Structure 1
Amino acid sequence: MIQPLPAGRARLVGPYQLLGLLGAGGMGEVYLAGPAGGARAAGGLVALKTIRPDLDLDDGFRVRFRREIAAAGAVRSPHTAGLVGGDANGRLPWLATEYVPGPSLAEAVARSGPLPEPVVRALGAGLALALADMHAVRVLHRDLKPGNVLLGPDGPKVIDFGIAQAFDATQLTRTGVVVGSPGYISPEHVNGSRSLVPASDVFCLGAVLAFAATGRGPFDDSDMAAVIYRISRGEAELSGVPDGLRDVIESCLRSDPAARPTPRRLADLLLPDGPAPGAFPWTDAVRGQLAAHAAAADACARASAPAYPPHRPAYAPTPAVPVRVPGERPGSRSLWTGLAAAAAVVCLALVAVLLPGLLDRGDEKNDAGASGGRRSAASATDAAGVRSGAAVFPGADPGRTGDFGAAAADVSTRPKDWKAWHTQVADGPVECALAGASLVCADARRITALDAADGKRRWRGPQTTAGSAPASVGAVLDTTVYAFEGNALVARDLSDGKEQWRERLPAGTRVADSAQSGDVLYYAVKATGSGTGRLIAQRLTGQHAQAWDTAWQEPADEAELLFADGRLVAVGAAVTVLNSADGARQPGVPAGGLTCRTPVLKGTQLLCSGSDGLTVVNVTDPDRRRTEAPGVDIAYRPTVSRDGIVVASSTSQVYAFGLADGQLRWVTCDCGDGLETEGVPFVVGDHAVVVEGYGPGAIPLNAEGTPRPTSPGLIKDWPGEPGDPLDPASVSVIAAGDALFMSFEDGTVGPLRLRSLTTRAGAQSSSRSSPSS
């Protein structure tokens, strides 16, 4: 029976709207669900399995759930319910498979009695071929039973890979612990999970066929100990099995695994001439159950089709193969709740008419970086990570994706003896780079190196001449800082600031921006008061010679350099694309052909913020472009996670959607009550951290529904005052260890703790508590 959703249950999980409860067990629930948004029909529905929200999910449990997803995804068979999507890493793990509109074998036999021999033969052949397809990709099911066989219009489908595993997987079940369901397990099950072999699934199938033919299992007994004893001794009760099936079922139930038929041999024994042409030979009673299930699911889907308030974003993700990160469309919560409740009433009324008395069917290279709302004065190294001497820059990696990765939430990567501190570096804005135990900061006039653990000054470079371009950190590689100071690129020793070498910039130019990859620093210079300039590739090691130097025309006053996949992309009024190895030009976008503020480069995809959404351009073919979130003014630099989840913010809402498919995952509330969320996003571990005017807040990337950041504005000593918040774009951020190293417009620098996101040994947390000082 399709039951109402439990009270307080989120209406959306992953990219799906939950429509009703199909079944529940001790560990989780299975829901009827459909794509969030748009029209639905029964053909687009899924069976979505989730874990109970109140359970404490340890790493071992997530490993098991991840294996279930992997096992279901590995099997491609017309005789199993195919995997559609899943996520084992989120706060609420979920798995979606195709919805089979029919009863389980257990349900069908309970309602209509045992199946006749021809149907059992066809059923058994289909299940045997399902096992053959599983074993072909080295997956054992380990829990084949009547409740895990669904009867679909075109034949049986095996479901629930909850305890399935690869033949050679590391065991997660202790030796001696029985896996599987009593009455439908093999002698090898009794001996422990390490004893299981492909023939163990065949034994279980023999017991399932006996049930289908007689209405009872061959080892049924009210005493559990007796069941185990009978299985271990091979004492199957097959007196009710038709004579024509008895020998085949007995061959499956032999105590010696080697004596049992293989799945394909079993299919041949059951149907020597192969499947009969035409429709599957279900009985009239079973076909009636199939029709009732299909009608009820279709009615439930149509009754639950969402309606959205008119102020929703103009972009509406179309139903697609779901990906691993959940989401929800924006809208009024009260309206949404009312619509969902009304739909549920209609759905359940239809179900009550169509499906009286039905049973439940279910038992159950690390990069680091930061983001900035405005152009960063420095870019990150490809080698940014946790090793000694690694550097993390504002702007994240060379593509400025804003993704710090798991190391940013891992306490083992923070500077030794770290403690909370703050200091005044300059009287104006500063931007910093984190290099091991040093924080190297640039203000308008000079470079300053601080101890990242306590904020004490290690050294300060000389002031640049008045009127020159602001100082900036180009790179920190090993034990050397490479900084632009006045009219030169200067290499200084990281420990004491002593100058090692100096490379003068072309006469009459100033640095526009830089990006580093490996031991090459790419930088752009422009002639003062002119659109002419040069793009230069400078080697930082060895003889520190230039790799190449090419002319560059850019009418805009400012431009940004981005690097990914061997391409250097210069973004200003025009988009210039060069091969990073030799500076050779590739097709770009002429001036005026694209509005691209606060650009981000992820692989070949250039993300350009604008007042009418986020334009995504393929830099290998600039004519290929699309717009996400049309009508939304993207106010700050977006961030892109390693999994391709884009988080972007307007001045009132934060959106998350897939870079590959444009599908909306979640959006924060535009509540109109002073509680809107907006700011500069970046990725720390598995969270999007949003720097708002009153402090940073965190949202899990796999958030459900309409999330709010966890307790923004509770950071002690945050410079933003009530009624006078900071401009989020004015705050420069680096995330490393369990701290946010932040610098502000007044020249203050200091780290804030990220206790709620802290992990150890690289394990990611899904905690939703507040970041605190």
Structure 2
Amino acid sequence: MIEPLPPGRARLIGPYQLLGLLGAGGMGEVYLARPAGAPDPLGGLVALKTVRADLDLDDGFRIRFRREIDAAGAVRSPHTASLVGGDASGRLPWLATEYVPGPSLAEAVIRSGPMPEPVVREMGAGLARALADMHAVRVLHRDLKPGNVLLGADGPKVIDFGIAQAFDATQLTRTGVVVGSPGYISPEHVNGSRALVPASDVFCLGAVLAFAATGRGPFDDSDMAAVIFRIAQGEAELSGVPPQLRAVIEECLRSEAGTRPTPRQLADMLLPEGRAIREPFPWTEAIRGQLAAHAAGARAVAEAAAPSAAAPPAPPAAPHPGGPALAPTPVAVPGDRRGNKGLWIALAAAATVVCVVLGAVLLPGLLEGSGGGDKSGGAGGGGAQPTASASDAVRTEAGPAVVPGADAGRTGDFGAAAADVSGKPEGWQPWHVRIANGRVECVLADTSLVCGGPQRITVLDAANGKRRWQTGPGRAGTGPASVAAVTGTTVYAFEDGALVALGLADGAEKWREPLAGGARVTDSVQSDGVLYYATRTTGTGAARIFAHQLTGTHTRKWDKPWDDPADEGELLFADGRLVAVGDAVTVLKGTDGARSGSTGPGDVTCRTPVLKGRALLCAGPNGLTVVDVTAPQNRRTVADGVDIAYRPAVTRDGTVVLSAEERVYAFGLADGRQNWATPDAVDYSGAPVIVGDHAYLVTEGFLESYEFARGSQESPANRKAYSGWPDGSNSRVDPETVSLLAKGDVLFLSFEDGSVLSGYAP
């Protein structure tokens, strides 16, 4: 069950000593490990997941790996294997979860046969409560299957958040690709990964329970197309499931997501009246025998691997970048036979994510290039890029430069000028093009749309989308290109491992300043001719913040270490203060970088910060925490109890627009009073922005607007929505990946597949 370490494999990864191989997949491996130098050979055993040493890791892979850590760290549950630590930035990224000495559900059923109904009910209730705990912190599992359930002595444990997605996380799957395991995916999986909802996990759990009760999945078929067809048509095979249990599973496998029970309801259906799961857990004798065999195997391997004399003392586990909450994430591989050991299904098995390309069954690619612009696309893959941000004071020769988020505080307010039709580019007509093979984000400068993409900078004519110029592709591994600012007639961008200045008219290079070796830019913000940007060095993880004077001598003003444990962070600027938000909040003077205030790591959860003057707005599952950055210990709550799904938007007069899963709200920032809320629940949410006296909501498949200035406390005025995007398409996207600009009653939107469109505002 535990293989010897492969020849040549290093015995230490991070702070852990490797003991044996639990599983291996196409890209990664999972090892049994313990803290290096631990005096107790059985103390602190973990399942340590890492990637193959021969892989060339790009930024996109590290982002996906970091997302595994983030998903694991968001969940706390007795029914999941807990995260111990992780590092996505080192030479070999790794993460460690508690080691569960027991078989997977797949292995247990294959070896011991179907489970009795009472055991299935107890196990199912534990798994349902695990899903409830995940969904409570806005994490979907997306690949719940028998191989991702481990059977521990105290009950089932859900593992493998390797393709889990936080509700508000950036989508990293391509349109047209289903992520999940055939036979244990929902109808929403078939319709595209962006259609997934919490009820999708419930559907998968229903299929898992059917497997536990009968030894086969409800949609099993030797033909993959037949499996997908049966899932889409709701043709589950449940013969052999006990009648009362079958009725519960049928509720989980309903075709319409909205008609399925919630995880809490499902737990109550399996164990009526909320009864607690029995202790000790009532596994069958056969399964208890497997548990004992796994525990004995782990003990033998751990005792045989004497601590290395050369091993350094165990340092603290790597801090989780998302805060103190910790939880699991090993991944699973298909079983195989090895010698006389029988069917081998890893305990915390290594990663093979099954991506099923379903062709015409799925959504088409978002906005394939058509219209007046260039359709050649850009080279390179996707990957996260620094967010461009700038001050309203930044001006080109013809007017202000407009950027995503509208200003250096990311308030999302584009102002009254954005709704003034006289500001529309001359000769403008609706258009859309595709300029890259990955996410793009743009800045509007006079009549030019300046866009950063996976490898290059592209400048479009804002009136018709035609390409004006484009830089050459960057070197592989240097990360995406991003627009930092446009001032006067100069574009400042991070490209090819350097900060470069390019002519707005023709792209001619004016100067170039290389970044320090191994450094990548994690965020940037610009105000009053000064660019502030944060970097993190690959390998060491060291982070710094720089201030660079763009105008005049274009010299570096200052640079300071940023001792925040978060791997990523955001920079915001207002009233002369630079606010760096990671696990902690750090306030610096813009003039010299001197620290003027801070919070401790984890004191404030601030995933989507907004800075309005001295007020730092931190959205969370229980409202909006408002931190006074001049005295960070002073905090208050607005919209108490509202589970905020996206970054808030704030008007110039201090009205905060919040988007929850089923409602949109407006509150006064100063007094915390609710101005209005949408009166009825909806089945979507989206990211808000402010355009004139309207709040726009960018949802998964359309734009909605609210004229909030004259709204009542009960309802906003003049609510209206597109049936799709401004170009008439109905493609579905993750709202967090859409970048929106507003100018002259026109919208410019860019998407994660490299598409850019311009259309009339609602």
The normalised TM-score by structure 2 is 0.48
The normalised TM-score by structure 1 is 0.47
Higher radius of gyration, 1 or 2: 1
